[in-house]
Structure 1
């Protein structure tokens, strides 16, 4: 029976962000990419709602001790879930995770209908702006044209700022891999080092010339590092 792997996207991310990971690991892992219900209407704190949705997903799919990999907001959700359910996660992988500090001006104030601004902010996510393809920019632009979705983005960004995880991290003994780009301008390298210092079983690997989404920008290196960690 294959080991389960859950991939969690960020605030403006999507399923396509994990293409390289899926291609590399799908023959050996039972891969799940739940779409985080960022745009749902509810009365809970937004991060708590996302964690509850992950709890339900794992229960519905009867996943036992999956590997959980989260980017940006998805990493934040993964941290909170792992802290609540340490017995339900075999290994934790964080890349560009929020929870300590996040410089996300687009999350705080997404300018609706301004295509060039959106292109600039998407490019800012990467070390190499060429990664911000027209298709990727269009995907984010569609979100920002929707008034309700914009409101949900702002609410989730504020919830992420409120849910400061530093006090929780020393209590998470799950083996954890941190893969960080040295040119991450959203969650800078200092954030990765703070995660590494607070998590009891953390390994930090820094990728040069890489931004906020290493699995997209440096997929081969990301997969190699992940492979080594999973094999331990």
Structure 2
């Protein structure tokens, strides 16, 4: 149980996306001393996802180590405004929004931690604004392109999109049964809370399906540009990931010039949740050294 609460750390700011000319009210959680070096944690694209939902097992350890933690809900997720559908790259859009939030908070540079879609956002933000990024931790994503061995879309992504179309408890159970390696900790009450969060923001669900129809490739392959990412990168992957198989991580490892990779056995798509204690220790060591 975190020493902090989602409600007590909840903040909003309004930012403008120069590419589309649209403004968004963006929600974020701000935890820790304002003068501490910031660590931005970026969530994935699962229905009902938010910064707090993705990282509540990691916040305390990072703040206790002396960092300021920012959990940014990109538009279309959490308490942020709905995403306005277009045919552009979702990763690039997310990166523009995160940069605008950092500007609004007068933050010049931050470490980035991203899971799945959040990892794609890390790559996009660095390629757009490398001077704003310190070190990067990416789990189960990062735009390394499709798996060489698994079908596309993967089993997990198919189930995820089904939940977006039909957010029922049974569909969430099917998705989460392969999302993590051991789903025994995911009780019906916990999963029902996730369903309730989804249904409360049907606009997010509807806009995801509309944007996917308009642009099936929401996250393009940055493979040809990975050599430009000079920042130290730690890749963390689940051996049993059925959403983005770990050979995708191997492609990242082969092309990022300053990367290291750690593969977790008995782990699915959510390293920071499934192996929280070890994840926290490894991340803090990486950021400090």
Alignment of 1:18-167 (within 5 A): 18-27=55-64, 28-38=66-76, 40-42=82-84, 44=86, 45=88, 46-97=90-141, 99=143, 100-101=145-146, 103=154, 104-110=157-163, 111-142=165-196, 145=199, 148-155=203-210, 158=215, 161-167=218-224
Choose 1 or 2 for highest CA Rg. 2
Could you tell me how far apart the structure 1 residues matched to 2:174 and 2:225 are?
34
| Matched position secondary structure for 1:197 | helix
Deviation at 1:151, TM superposition (A): 2.9
TM-aligned CA distance change 1:107 to 1:119, over 3 Å: closer
Structure 1 partner of 2:44? 10
Deviation at 1:172, TM superposition (A): 0.7
Deviation at 1:92, TM superposition (A): 0.7
Q: Between the two structures, name the one with larger relative contact order (CA 8 Å, sep ≥ 6).
A: 1
> Structure 2: where are the runs of 5+ without partners?
1-34, 147-152
Structure 2 partner of 1:190? 247
Deviation at 1:159, TM superposition (A): 5.8
Deviation at 1:20, TM superposition (A): 2.0
TM-aligned CA distance change 1:174 to 1:113, over 3 Å: closer
> Structure 1: where are the runs of 5+ without partners?
none
Could you tell me how far apart the structure 2 residues matched to 1:127 and 1:140 are?
18
Alignment pair present for 1:203 and 2:260 = yes
Q: TM-score, normalised by structure 1?
A: 0.90
Aligned length: 232
Deviation at 1:156, TM superposition (A): 5.7
Moved more, 25-34 or 112-121: 112-121
